[in-house]
Amino acid sequence: MIADKFSSINFGRILIYSILIFFAFIYLAPLYVMFSTSLKDIEEIRSGNLLALPNDPTLYAWAKAWSSACTGSECKGLAPFFWNSVKIVFPAVIISTIIGAFNGYVLSKWKFKGSELFFGALLFGCFIPFQVILLPMAILLSKLGLSNTVSGLVLVHVIYGVAFTTLFFRNYYIGISTELVRAARLDGAGFFDIFRHIFLPISTPIFVVTIIWQFTQIWNDFLFGVVYSGAGTQPITVALNNLVNTSVGGKEYNVDMAAAIIAALPTLIVYVFAGKYFVRGLTAGAVKG
C-alpha cells in the first residue's frame, strides 16, 4: 500500500497533472481575455497586451454595450435584443418541451401501427442541415403574416426543436415498466391519468435536461435569427454580430468583449449551476441523435 502510494507520486503523475492544468488554462484563456479586455479603456488596450490585467478597471464598456452601442443604424445597445431573446426563448422552450413530453410518452408506451416509422422519420430531423428548409420556411412565415416577428421565430424553434425534445422523453420513458401502465389501464385509468400520476412525478430529471438543452440551443441560435427576424425583433446573437461589425468612429474592442459576455452569460450561468444536466443532454443528444 505504501509502496503503491509512493510510486503514484512519480514523474508520470506530474506530467499528467501538468498537461491537464496546461489545457485548463488554454480553455479558460479566451474567457479571461474577454473579461479583462471588457474592463480596460481603449488607451490601455492599444498600449498593453491581451494577457495583462486591467490597470484601472472601468465599467464604461459594459454600460455602453448594454445601453448605447450601435448595432447597425440603431444605437440602443444590446438591451432590447437581450429582451427579444428572452421573449423568443421562454415560449419556445416551454411549448417544445411539453409537446416533446407527450410525444415521448406516446412513442414509448402507447405505440400504434406506424409509430416506430414516425419516430424514425422524426429522428432524421435532428440531422438535416437547416439550409434545406430555410427558403420555404421564409415563404410560409410570410404567408402566415409572421415574417420578422417574435412569434414567427418561436414557431420555427418549436417546429425544429420538437425532434430533439421527443427523442429525449422517448428514450427516458422507454425505461419505465410497461407492466405498470398495463396495470393502471386495467384499473380504468386513462391516457392522461396515467401520464399525470405515474409519469409526471418521475419526470423531473428529464424535464431539466430537455429544458436546459432547448434553452442553450435557442438562446445561441443565429441562423434562424438572422434569416427570420427584422430590425426590431432580432435576437441577441444577431445583434452582437451587428455590433461587432458596426464601426462608427474607432473600433472599441472593450465594448465588443463586454457585449459578447452579456450574450454568453445566460447560458454560462445555466451551465455553471446545472452542468451535470447539460452534459447529460449533450450526450443523450449525441449518442442517439
Partner 1 sequence: MLNFLEKHLPKIVIAPTTLAMIVCMYGFILWTGLLSFTKSRMMPQWEYVGFEQYIRLFENPRWHVALDNLAVFLILFIAISLALGLLLAIFLDQKIRNEGVIRTIYLYPMAISFIVTGTAWKWILNPGLGIEKIFRDMGFLDFEFRWLVEQDMAIYTIVIAAVWQSSGFVMAMFLAGLRGVDDNLVKAAKIDGASTFRSYWHVILPIMRPVFFSAVVILTHIAIKSFDLVQALTGGGPGYSSDLPANFMYTFAFNRAQMGLGAASAMVMLFGVLAVLIPYLYSELRERET
Residue ranges in 84-103 that form contacts with partner 1 under rule CB under 8 A: 99, 102-103
Q: 137 or 150, CB closer to partner 1?
A: 137
DSSP assignment of 13-59? HHHHHHHHHHHHHHHHHHHHHHHHHHTS-HHHHHHS-TTSPPSS--S
Find the binder of partner 1 among 129, 188, 201, 250 (CB under 8 A). Answer: 129
In whole angstroms, the minimum distance from the beta carbon of 86 to partner 1 comes to: 15
Q: 207 or 228, CB closer to partner 1?
A: 228
CA distance 168 to 158: 15
Segment interacting with partner 1 (CB under 8 A) among 54-62, 169-177, 197-205, 278-286 = 278-286
Residues 2-31 that bind partner 1 (CB under 8 A): 13, 16-17, 19-21, 23-24, 26-31
Cell numbers describing residue 89:
426563448
Q: 150 or 257, CB closer to partner 1?
A: 257
Length of the chain in residues, anyone? 289
Residues 176-195 that bind partner 1 (CB under 8 A): 190-191
Cell numbers describing residue 121:
422519420
Cell numbers describing residue 110:
402507447
CA distance 159 to 147: 16
Cell numbers describing residue 130:
437547416
Rg (CA), the chain: 24
Q: Which residue do the cell numbers 428572452 mark?
A: 86
In whole angstroms, the minimum distance from the beta carbon of 239 to partner 1 comes to: 10
- CA proximity to 78, closest of 231, 213, 259: 259
Find the binder of partner 1 among 61, 106, 150, 209 (CB under 8 A). Answer: 106
Find the binder of partner 1 among 45, 61, 93, 209 (CB under 8 A). Answer: 45
In whole angstroms, the minimum distance from the beta carbon of 44 to partner 1 comes to: 11
- Decide: is 46 part of the binding site for partner 1 (CB under 8 A): yes
In whole angstroms, the minimum distance from the beta carbon of 129 to partner 1 comes to: 5
Residues 226-255 that bind partner 1 (CB under 8 A): 226-227, 237, 240-241, 244-245, 253
CA distance 14 to 128: 45
Report the chain's terminal Cα–Cα distance, integer Å: 45
Packing angle of the helix pair 150-173, 79-109 (nearest 10 deg): 40
Segment interacting with partner 1 (CB under 8 A) among 75-83, 118-126, 175-183, 196-204 = 118-126
